[in-house]
Amino acid sequence: MVISQTPLRIGIAGGGTDLASFYRREAGCVLNAAIDKFVYVIVKERFDDKIYLNYSRKEIVDSVDQIQHDLVREAMRKTGVTEGVEITTLADIPSEGSGLGSSSSITVGLLNALYVYQGIQVTAQTLAQQACDIEINILGKPIGKQDQYIAAYGGVRLFGFHPDEGVSVEKVCLRSSQMLLFGSNLLLFFTGKTRKSDPILSQQQENTEQKLEVLRQMKRQALEAKDLLSAGDFDAVGRLLHQAWQCKRALASTISNDQIDQMYQQALDAGALGGKISGAGGGGFLLLYVPREKQNAVRKALNQYRELPFFLEHHGSKIIFNTRRYQWK
C-alpha cells in the first residue's frame, strides 16, 4: 500500500499569465505558495483483478477504459497500472471549486502514488509535466500550469512559463522563521460558494488579446512580490496583493461579484492591507494579508464566513506510507 500527501496552494501574484493564451506570446510568471492543507491518495493492491475507486462516488470496474473519474483513468494509463488495485482519494477541504488548486493536487498525488506503487521514483518536474499533460492536453481543460507545479514542488516558488512550453522554477529563499512570520499575516475565509473554474478561465483566455497590458502588469507584480518577500518586506507584499486583485478582477466579468466585493471591502475597512480571491475567481476562498494586530478586527468583520487556519508548507507531493508485502499474487 502507498499513500501520497500533496499540498494545496495559494496564489500570490501573476495568476493568469500561466495560461497558454498568454505565455505562448511572451513568458508568463507566477508566484505562489503551498499550504498545509492536503489531498491524500491511497493505492492498495487487491486479491482480484478488478479496479475499485473511492472518492465522492464509488466505482468498481474491470478495466481502466471503464473508469469515469477522468483524472484517475488518465493517471493509471500514464503510469501503467492496469488492474487489481483499489484507489482512494481524500481531501482536507471540499475538493472542487475551492480555488486552492485541488484538482491539480489530486492529479500530482495520483501520479506520485501510482509510480511508487510500480516501484518507480520520479522527480517533481516529471510529476508536474505529466499532470499538465493529463489536465491540459489529454482532457482539454482550459487551465494554466501553476497549480500542478506548486503541488509537485511545494514551498514558495516563482515559476516562469515560456513560449516553448518550458517551465523555470525558482525557490524563494526564506528561513523557517521568515516563512512562519509571513504566513502568520495571511488569512483565508470561505466565501460560502464553490464554482467551476473552466467557464471563468475560458472567458479569461478569450479576453487575452484585449487584456495584454493588464497581464503584463500582473507578471511584473509577481517579480516584484518575489523581491519584496526575499527582502523581508512582508507588509509591502500585502499592499501588492491589493494591486494584483484590482488587475485580476479586470480580466473577466465573472471573477468577482457583489458579495465578494463587499466581503473584501469589509476586510479592508477592518485593517487588511490587501487580498484576492484564490484561484480562478467567482467563489472559493478569499486570501487576505492582515497584520497580526488587526486580525481580530478582521475576523469580527467577517464573522459570518468560515476561516480556514493554515501554515505555509515547505514540501511538495511526497510519499508518507509505502509498504509492500511478499509477492502474493
Tens-digit pLDDT profile for residues 171-186: 998 999 999 999 999 9
Q: Quick one: 58 exposed, middle or buried, by C-beta within 10 A (0-12, 13-18, 19+)?
A: exposed
- Of 237, 214, 230, 218, the C-alpha closest to 287 is 237
Per-residue pLDDT at 198: 61
Q: Quick one: pLDDT band at residue 205, thresholds 50, 70, 90?
A: low
The answer on pLDDT for 57 being more than 70 is yes
More confident residue, 257 or 110: 110
Asked whether the CA dihedral 296, 302, 305, 308 is positive or negative, the reply is negative
pLDDT in tens, 241-299: 999 999 988 887 778 888 999 999 999 999 999 999 987 667 789 999 999 999 999 99
Cell numbers 466505482: residue: 59
Average pLDDT over residues 42-61: 97
Average pLDDT of span 65-83: 98
List C-alpha distances in Å: 3 to 40, 62, 113: 7, 23, 6
Q: Answer yes or no: pTM beyond 0.85.
A: yes
Instruction: Tell me if 28 sits within 8 A of 22, measured CB to CB.
Output: yes
Share of the chain above pLDDT 90, in %: 82
Beta-bridged to residue 187, according to DSSP, are: 288
| Nearest to 147, CA basis, from 46, 48, 7 | 7
Structure confidence at residue 221 (pLDDT)? 98
Per residue in 133-147, pLDDT (tens digit) is 999 999 999 899 999
Which pLDDT score, from 0 to 100, does residue 180 have?
Answer: 96
In one letter, which amino acid is 281?
G
SS (H, E, C) 50-98: CEEEECCCEEEECCHHHCCCHHHHHHHHHHCCCCCEEEEEEECCCCCCC
Per-residue pLDDT, 195: 59
pLDDT at 317: 99
Asked whether 188 and 286 are in contact (CB, 8 A), the reply is yes
Domains and CATH numbers, the chain: 2-173+314-322 (3.30.230.10), 176-301 (3.30.70.890)
What number is the average pLDDT over the span 75-96? 93
Beta-strand (E) ranges in 92-203?
156-161, 167-171, 186-190
* Mean pLDDT of the residues in the chain: 93
Residue 120, pLDDT > 80, answer yes
